[in-house]
Each structure stands twice: as structure tokens, then as C-alpha cells.
Amino acid sequence: MAKQSFLTRTQKFFKEVRSELRKVSWPNRKTLVSYSSVVVASVAVVSFIVWAFDTTFVQIFKFIIK
């Protein structure tokens, strides 16, 4: 089999990507906003927990060092 040119392979790749994207079941706006809100809230909660642990451990290490 002969090697295809870079341009031919690139065109084929993007045609296949477009074909696959047509098969995707995209969420409606309400669902997208709902899921995005859950992700943002989850990130905020986890960030707060990490911050709290970090602050606590820093204070503990400061106490041990002194």
C-alpha cells in the first residue's frame, strides 16, 4: 500500500471526526447548565476542603517547629 500524503491523511481525519460528531447526542441547554453547575459546585467544595487541610497542616507544622 502506498503511503498517503500528509494533506490526504489530514483531510480523511477531519472527515471522520465530522462523521463521529454527527452521531453524538448533544445535551440541551437546560441539561448543560445543570451539569455545569454541579461541576462548578463540586470543584468549589473540594477546593475548600483542600484549603482547609492545607491551612491546618501549616499551623500544625508551625507549632511543631517552634
Q: What pLDDT is stored for residue 1 in this prediction? A: 60
Query: Has residue 21 been placed in a domain?
Result: no
Query: Has residue 56 been placed in a domain?
Result: yes
| Domain total of the chain | 1
Coil, strand, or helix at residue 8?
A: helix
Least confident of 3-7, 27-31, 44-48, 56-60: 3-7
Query: Has residue 9 been placed in a domain?
Result: no
For the chain, give percent helix, strand, coil, nearest 5. Answer: 85, 0, 15
Q: What pLDDT is stored for residue 3 in this prediction? A: 80
Per-residue pLDDT tens digits for 14-53: 999 999 999 999 999 999 999 999 999 999 999 999 999 9
Q: What pLDDT is stored for residue 57 in this prediction? A: 96
Which residue range is the domain that position 65 belongs to? 26-66
Residue 4 pLDDT grade (very low, low, confident, very high; cuts 50, 70, 90): confident
d(CA 30, CA 20): 24
pTM assigned to the model: 0.62
